[in-house]
Amino acid sequence: MDFDTLTPRKGTHSVKWDMMQPLYGVSPDDGLAMWVADMEFRPPACVQTALEKMLAHGIYGYYGDDAEYLAAIQWWMKTRHGWDVDAKHIFTTHGLVNGTALCIQAFTEKGDGVVLMTPVYHAFARVITAAGRQVVECPLTLNDGRYELDIPAWEARLTGRETMLILCSPHNPGGRVWTAQELAQIAAFCARHDLILVSDEIHHDLVMPGRKHTVMAHIDGVADRLVMMTATTKTFNIAGAHTGNVIIADTALRMRFAAAYNAAGMSANSFGMFMATAAYSPDGAAWVDALME
């Protein structure tokens, strides 16, 4: 891990730097590009090596035979999070905003309410609104600088038109690593109101020392309404790979998602698949461990 080498990014089609002026009127020459989760350090060497092998081959066709990729996901989730994932439960999406949009199409109807625990990642509301659904804000409570659940207040906000809750775990932007007890409360809330629970866990590898991320799939009584979303992109700073995963254990939910997935004509981005496979490896794990020291 090298935080000292400066890699110039202006003029490289970097949305973080090259779109500051058009979008916000802030010059990249004297502004701080802190408005999007895209970091300034390079990914581990294993990811770079995977891309160099692609370049050396010189032909960039459709990606096929994803067994190695799926095995890498299974290995990572088991060794890093104690979570056993069935390869048949994994769908590959063009990132998790795309995964969220597909969940909205699969599990809700126009006019339905989708619950967000606000403040939360802005793209959730954007895709909900674009799909003709309603954002239902259930605010978190800020106590001494710490965001906490306020489920009694949430109960009063619901109208009965809600069909889904999108959870951000760990929470963006609040930084909360939800406890198992808090996750159980959220799961129970979803059960009481018959809400599909979409758990975006893209930041699950990045927790401070002394904290532990709990996978929502480990919470009892939620499997029949749970959709898990994960990705390599934040952990390894490879957001441009646009590769994420929607993981659904429940057969009925998986069939509904598969219908929306197939209707959208989804297929894998070869570059992202090779990058993610390389990242979810012992070399990638060692790099993350060094990063978190």
Residues 113 and 254 in one domain: yes
Per-residue pLDDT band for 3 (boundaries 50, 70, 90) equals confident
Pick the more confident residue, 40 or 22: 22
Q: Is the peptide bond before 209 cis (omega within 30 degrees of 0)?
A: no
**Residue-number span of the structural domain to which 17 is assigned:** 1-41
Contact by Cβ (8 Å): 197, 187: yes
Pairing relationship of beta strands 244-247 and 226-231 according to DSSP bridges: antiparallel
Residue 288 CB-half CA count within 13 A: 24
Residues 227 and 153 in one domain: yes
Q: What's the number of domains the chain is made of?
A: 2
Long-range own/partner contacts, residues 208-215 (CB < 8 A, 24 or more apart): 208/177, 209/292, 211/177, 212/177, 213/81, 213/169, 213/170, 213/177, 214/178, 214/179, 214/180, 214/183, 215/77, 215/81, 215/82, 215/83
* Residue 118 confidence (pLDDT) above 80: yes
Residues 4 and 131 in one domain: no
Residues 7 and 103 in one domain: no
251 assigned to some structural domain:
yes
59 assigned to some structural domain:
no
Per-residue burial over 121-144, b if 16 or more Cβ lie within 10 Å, else e, is beebbebbeebebbebebebeeee
Residues 28 and 117 in one domain: no
Q: How far is CA 98 from CA 174, 184, 231, in A?
A: 22, 27, 12
Calculate what percentage of the chain has a pLDDT beyond 90: 90
Q: In this structure, what CATH number is given to the domain that contains residue 220?
A: 3.40.640.10
69 assigned to some structural domain:
no
* Residue 229 confidence (pLDDT) above 70: yes
63 assigned to some structural domain:
no
* Residue 193 confidence (pLDDT) above 90: yes
3-state secondary structure of 258: helix
288 assigned to some structural domain:
no
275 assigned to some structural domain:
no
Q: Any idea which residue has 């993610």 for tokens?
A: 276
Adjacent-strand bridge partners of 137: 116
Residues 14 and 92 in one domain: no
* Residue 237 confidence (pLDDT) above 70: yes
Residues 151 and 223 in one domain: yes
Per-residue pLDDT band for 108 (boundaries 50, 70, 90) equals very high
Residues 104 and 37 in one domain: no
Helix axes 96-107, 251-263, angle to 10 degrees: 110
The pLDDT of residue 1:
66
Pick the more confident residue, 40 or 223: 223
The pLDDT of residue 84:
98
What pTM, to 2 d.p., does this model score?
A: 0.95
* Residue 26 confidence (pLDDT) above 80: yes
272 assigned to some structural domain:
no
